[in-house]
Structure 1
Amino acid sequence: MKQFSSKRSIQILAHLLKEYGIFNIVISPGSRNAPLAIHFSETDEFNCYSIVDERSAGFVGIGMAKSEKMPVAITCTSGSAAANYYPSITEAFYQNVPLLVLTADRPSDYTDIFDGQTIRQKDLFQQHSYGDFQLLEDEKENADEENFDLIKKAIELCFEKQGPVHINIPLAEPLYELVSEVPHYPKVEKTFHHKKYELPSQLIAEWNLAKRILILVGTRDYSEKLEMQLFQLVKNHSAVILTEVNSNLKNDKFFSHIDRYIFNFSDEDCKNYAPDLLITVGQNVVSKKVKQFLRKAHPKNHWHIDEVWQPDTYFSLTEKIETQPEIFFGKLLNFIKLEPQSYFNLWDVLRDKKDLKHLEYCQNVVFSDFKFFEILSEKIPNNYHVHISNSSAIRYAQLFSYQQYRIHSNRGTSGIDGCTSTAMGYAMRNTQPTLLVTGEVSFFYDINGLWNQYIPPYTRIIIFNNGGGDIFKIIPGPGTANALDEFILTKHHKNAELLAKNFGFSYTRVEDEDTLVRVLDNFFSPDAQPKILEVDTAEIENAEILKGYFEFMK
């Protein structure tokens, strides 16, 4: 016989989640949130996942939400458990991933009286959430009606903003009173608000007058429609389109390796290649160099297109276009002139020159992190969804051709803390296989991302182990500090072999190019358990090889 929580606030919450189609629930075990865990796990419609570590659980929720393109609910007990969600909430906030954050709490009058596991949870995530709500306890006057309205508002805000929304739920003891039936709650009249976008006439004029139009696409999910629209804009060489590996766009007319082309730009180059109209699409870009270039460029007009974020990243923003890029470009294409411009040819000549130099360097480079990323770009099966961790991993990937894959990376706050957990959450809810490509420091930091029973056997992880946070040898500054090895780079001699065994992954380790090429095909072949491949480059001067690449590309 089914056993449900007797807490009416939890019954109402579950009812509304079902009404809005939110069925994936990530539960971190605890006592204060036991009513939620009991109720959700006993309700047939919900897919419940037990993730012990709340920091990991939040990122697992991000991965699931990105995979399903639907909100995911995460729930934990009170106190520091709730605070451990914060890294994932900041990532979801800046990446616009819909998380419904359900934190159980002590009764509201228990705060600051030194009751166990009690902190100031109300509005805990206010700086990085799109809404903060606190439910009334069941015994409060009009609790059912007010909680129904609060939860409805929170869920709709989560959908509308596509980001984290927090519901704090004070629960008084007893926590384990159960019922076999729940009351009938009313159907919901959904009240989503959809903005209608009208194209301002002055934007048509600005496009038609511009001779040097540059479109920069940052982090975003794949969109076939946007890809086709941008091709229409560029096929006659009317504009230049810069993309990164995490832009998830592919076309021979797009310039897909920004750092390959502009890393060594002088002040004179910045002036020569500067646009007069800059159009930015999506969110965070990886390339620091493109930010420096465009901040020096001072374009006459800068439009940014995004439903939620309108950042003045390049200190030149003139138009905030608050709609989906597919809607905007669909309207723009009806009115603008698409005339060939010499600006495209300027960039095209640069591309041909730099691509030849890139190929020449690759032919002569020794085995290293650089060589590993080149080899891997040619060996991943096309059906894989590829998650690339932060730090040096995503920077190496920008230099090679990963555009044929669906690429994901936590570029909201760009931290290493949840890359593994996000990839594993994505894998749990996706029928296509998932590959995580990660540095070893990021992998070790988030090892609890593997601490669950739901990772499918077609999941793959490749760790490139260079013996520390090699990014700090690459970026300017840290290399001059006496504290580099111990306190910045964190040099070590660890590997992932025993961790792989502990979490039920098969494990292979390689140290040279020939072995890597030989094992990769088998690594991607089907197996009864997920696999980890560790590429050991710890004895190689990886930073010098990468610096040598950019020096060669001048």
Structure 2
Amino acid sequence: MDLHYTAEKNSLILISLLKAHGIRNIIASPGATNLRLVASLQHDSYFKIYSSVDERSAAYMACGLAAESGEPVMLSCTGATSSRNYMPALTEAYYRKLPILVVTSSQYSEWIGNLKDQVTNRIQLPADIVKKSFQVDEIHCERQEWNAINKINEAILELTRHGGGPAHINLITSYNPDFSITELPYTRVIHRYSHKNELPSLPQGPIGIFVGSHKKFNQQEETSIEAFCKKHHAIVFCDHTSGYYGKYKMNYSLIQLQSGKIKRSLKLLIHLGEISGDMFNISPYAQEVWRVSEDGEIRDPFKKLVNVFEMDETFFFNHYAKEDCTYPIDEYPSYKEEYEAIMQSLPDLPFSNIWMASVTSGKLPEGTVLHLGILTSLRSWNFFKLPQGVTSFSNVGGFGIDGNMSTLIGASWAHPEKLYLGVVGDLSFFYDMNSLGNRHVGKNIRILLVNNGKGCEFTHHMNMGSMLGQEAYPYICAEGHYGKQSPKLVRHYTEDLGVIYLTASSKEEYEKLLPDFLNPSSEKPILLEAFTKDVNENAALKIMSTIKQSNKEQSKEMVKKMVGEEAYGILKKIFKK
């Protein structure tokens, strides 16, 4: 038989990453389930393979080899009880922090519990035999390939992290008989660095910093970022959850949303923070991503992670601010000009959350703390800059609709002298309305309730719910609850609780009430209920996404208006043929 590498992609990725991370010592035990992996390793002269029939002995041999050589060792076994025999030696390795990568091959996990021979459950492992455990399934699409690459990288990196120790991969096999692959695929390698390591040089090209949800940056952190940006002409892409309010901040949502947006390609994107509420981020245009976080964990929302820096952000940016600049072109002005050009072209918007954000954001008193409900409210306000001295937050950690007002109220207790403004939709408000009954609700609370009578998030043109039309209303959008936009329900509730109630159903009414609503001298908390229509909410988002259309997009829209959506679809199919 002309033996090369197996055609099973998960095994190919594993082998490629073993080589990339310098792991060459393998101790293999016999079996059919790991046949494809072992045969492929055997084919590659890079690896030094040892054989051991008894998995108990194999694992202890790995302990001895790892301790003596100072290098990681990989174990490979088949199904049935073979993996159980590793446990005594892995306990030894765990407490001695020996770098042993355990690769247990397995049949499909669907067989677990279905009386399939030689299939054992390896999902839950004892707490003190490996530091981390991952299952790497078959690969049939790019998403599964990305997941496998991250998991295998993470398992290998864990071998030497925080003093080292064993890690586990349960590798699923399909028993593919194809051994025709002559070259290993290119596989993205992830490296982890601490302040003790020699850090890599910055790549040559434009650099951006993307900040997800983040605690407010202190002065030292902000100064280090600004020194870095000044030296390397970098831009800080943010939304209203970033906690960054420095000189190089760019609210990118509005630019990225445009159908005619300029697709600039960043050489490097530096990723800070946690989950982002920005639904329109720049990930497709970054060639590689470096993540900086003290937890050192593999977090890869952009699917292009190559380096993780387990260190505080100040150390990272101070280090690289000393490095020579490799890209002397300052692109921040062009991004700023593009944003300003879009804002100057802002057309008339219907009465909606977006319109309210456009007229309110710039009028917030200095020191205001803004809390935004997830999705519609956060997205709407992300399009617009906030005045200097205004800070903003959103519950994007769990990303649920519950608890927005409770969080706002709790935050307001920390600084009673500041104005705390919450912007919530009707479903979110009624979900959390009991919080207004708390006797500690202060006079510094302002709540903008945008009541459109349903979860209109599921009806806009970028959500799949829009395909269902009105079929989405009763259950997906939860239309018809909470008084069906009753003009009395919230009024009676809030006034009985001692909250000043205001209401608006038009732009004119809203603008007339806005000065009183934002007045920090009020002796009571204030709630402004704005009644909008989902068609206007959706129209406003559509308008915002097409302010700057390309010539191609403009032509499409012109043809659609001339012939209609249905005829346009038919013409499109004809021309494709």
Bin the TM-score by the shorter chain. Answer: 0.5 to 0.7
Once the two structures are superposed, the pairs formed by residues 316-355 of structure 1 within 5 Å of their partners are 316-333=304-321, 335-338=322-325, 340-342=327-329, 344-345=330-331, 348-355=333-340
SS at match of 2:363: coil
Tell me how far apart the structure 2 counterparts of residues 392 and 226 of structure 1 sit (CA, whole Å): 30
**Is the 8 Å Cα contact of residues 250 and 403 (structure 1) preserved in structure 2?**
no
Matched, 1:424 2:401: no
- Tell me: CA distance 1:425–1:393, structure 2 relative to 1, closer, same or farther (3 Å): same
Q: Which segment drifts farther, 277-286 or 496-505? A: 496-505
Normalised by the length of structure 2, the TM-score is 0.56
**Is the 8 Å Cα contact of residues 222 and 249 (structure 1) preserved in structure 2?**
yes
Tell me how far apart the structure 2 counterparts of residues 341 and 461 of structure 1 sit (CA, whole Å): 46
What displacement does 1:216 show? 0.6
What displacement does 1:411 show? 0.7
Select 1:313's aligned residue among 297, 301, 309.
301
Letter of the 1:486 counterpart: P
Matched, 1:408 2:393: yes
What displacement does 1:327 show? 3.2
Select 1:392's aligned residue among 372, 376, 379.
376
Listed as ranges, the gaps of 5+ residues in structure 1 are 1-125, 127-195
- Tell me: CA distance 1:348–1:265, structure 2 relative to 1, closer, same or farther (3 Å): farther
Tell me how far apart the structure 1 counterparts of residues 442 and 245 of structure 2 sit (CA, whole Å): 29
SS at match of 1:461: strand
Letter of the 1:402 counterpart: L
1:302-357 Cα deviation digits (max 9, x unpaired): 23334365411112222222233123223333x31235533x43x64354234312
Select 1:480's aligned residue among 460, 464, 467.
467
Paired residue total: 346
**Is the 8 Å Cα contact of residues 350 and 536 (structure 2) preserved in structure 1?**
no
Tell me how far apart the structure 1 counterparts of residues 253 and 453 of structure 2 sit (CA, whole Å): 25
Q: Where does residue 527 of structure 1 map in the other structure? A: 522
Q: Where does residue 248 of structure 2 map in the other structure? A: 253
**Is the 8 Å Cα contact of residues 503 and 528 (structure 2) preserved in structure 1?**
yes
Greater relative contact order, per chain length (Cα 8 Å cut-off, separation 6+)? 1
1:192-226 Cα deviation digits (max 9, x unpaired): xxxx95163333x2x1x422222111111222332
Letter of the 1:421 counterpart: S
Tell me how far apart the structure 2 counterparts of residues 225 and 367 of structure 1 sit (CA, whole Å): 42
Tell me how far apart the structure 2 counterparts of residues 422 and 298 of structure 1 sit (CA, whole Å): 34
Q: Where does residue 102 of structure 1 map in the other structure? A: none
**Is the 8 Å Cα contact of residues 448 and 527 (structure 2) preserved in structure 1?**
yes
Letter of the 1:518 counterpart: K
Q: Where does residue 490 of structure 1 map in the other structure? A: 478
**Is the 8 Å Cα contact of residues 243 and 255 (structure 1) preserved in structure 2?**
yes
What displacement does 1:265 show? 6.1
Matched, 1:367 2:354: no
**Is the 8 Å Cα contact of residues 450 and 532 (structure 2) preserved in structure 1?**
yes
What displacement does 1:422 show? 0.9
What displacement does 1:441 show? 1.4
Tell me how far apart the structure 2 counterparts of residues 331 and 395 of structure 1 sit (CA, whole Å): 34
- Tell me: CA distance 1:249–1:328, structure 2 relative to 1, closer, same or farther (3 Å): same
Select 1:437's aligned residue among 404, 415, 423.
423
**Is the 8 Å Cα contact of residues 216 and 279 (structure 1) preserved in structure 2?**
yes
- Tell me: CA distance 1:449–1:553, structure 2 relative to 1, closer, same or farther (3 Å): farther
Tell me how far apart the structure 2 counterparts of residues 510 and 397 of structure 1 sit (CA, whole Å): 19
**Is the 8 Å Cα contact of residues 234 and 253 (structure 1) preserved in structure 2?**
yes
**Is the 8 Å Cα contact of residues 425 and 451 (structure 2) preserved in structure 1?**
yes
What displacement does 1:252 show? 4.7
Tell me how far apart the structure 1 counterparts of residues 409 and 401 of structure 2 sit (CA, whole Å): 14
SS at match of 1:219: coil
1:462-483 Cα deviation digits (max 9, x unpaired): 1122222121122321012153
- Tell me: CA distance 1:471–1:542, structure 2 relative to 1, closer, same or farther (3 Å): same
Normalised by the length of structure 1, the TM-score is 0.58
Listed as ranges, the gaps of 5+ residues in structure 2 are 1-126, 128-192, 550-577
- Tell me: CA distance 1:423–1:282, structure 2 relative to 1, closer, same or farther (3 Å): same
Q: Where does residue 201 of structure 1 map in the other structure? A: 198
Letter of the 2:198 counterpart: S
Matched, 1:227 2:222: yes
Tell me how far apart the structure 2 counterparts of residues 326 and 511 of structure 1 sit (CA, whole Å): 48
Select 1:287's aligned residue among 275, 278, 295.
278
Tell me how far apart the structure 2 counterparts of residues 315 and 521 of structure 1 sit (CA, whole Å): 45
Q: Where does residue 116 of structure 1 map in the other structure? A: none
Matched, 1:464 2:450: yes
**Is the 8 Å Cα contact of residues 466 and 538 (structure 1) preserved in structure 2?**
yes
Report % sequence identity: 19
- Tell me: CA distance 1:264–1:512, structure 2 relative to 1, closer, same or farther (3 Å): closer
SS at match of 1:202: coil
Once the two structures are superposed, the pairs formed by residues 29-44 of structure 1 within 5 Å of their partners are none
1:164-187 Cα deviation digits (max 9, x unpaired): xxxxxxxxxxxxxxxxxxxxxxxx
**Is the 8 Å Cα contact of residues 236 and 340 (structure 1) preserved in structure 2?**
no
Q: Where does residue 379 of structure 1 map in the other structure? A: 363
- Tell me: CA distance 1:352–1:237, structure 2 relative to 1, closer, same or farther (3 Å): farther
Matched, 1:238 2:225: no
SS at match of 1:221: coil
SS at match of 1:541: helix
**Is the 8 Å Cα contact of residues 351 and 536 (structure 2) preserved in structure 1?**
no
SS at match of 1:225: helix
Tell me how far apart the structure 2 counterparts of residues 287 and 384 of structure 1 sit (CA, whole Å): 21
Once the two structures are superposed, the pairs formed by residues 98-113 of structure 1 within 5 Å of their partners are none
SS at match of 2:290: strand
Matched, 1:543 2:538: yes
**Is the 8 Å Cα contact of residues 248 and 403 (structure 1) preserved in structure 2?**
no
Tell me how far apart the structure 2 counterparts of residues 504 and 489 of structure 1 sit (CA, whole Å): 31
Letter of the 1:289 counterpart: F
What displacement does 1:390 show? 0.9
1:67-121 Cα deviation digits (max 9, x unpaired): xxxxxxxxxxxxxxxxxxxxxxxxxxxxxxxxxxxxxxxxxxxxxxxxxxxxxxx
**Is the 8 Å Cα contact of residues 261 and 351 (structure 1) preserved in structure 2?**
no
Tell me how far apart the structure 2 counterparts of residues 232 and 490 of structure 1 sit (CA, whole Å): 49
**Is the 8 Å Cα contact of residues 296 and 309 (structure 2) preserved in structure 1?**
no
SS at match of 1:246: coil
1:358-402 Cα deviation digits (max 9, x unpaired): 22225x334332211111102211122111111200000110012
Q: Where does residue 142 of structure 2 map in the other structure? A: none
- Tell me: CA distance 1:350–1:329, structure 2 relative to 1, closer, same or farther (3 Å): closer
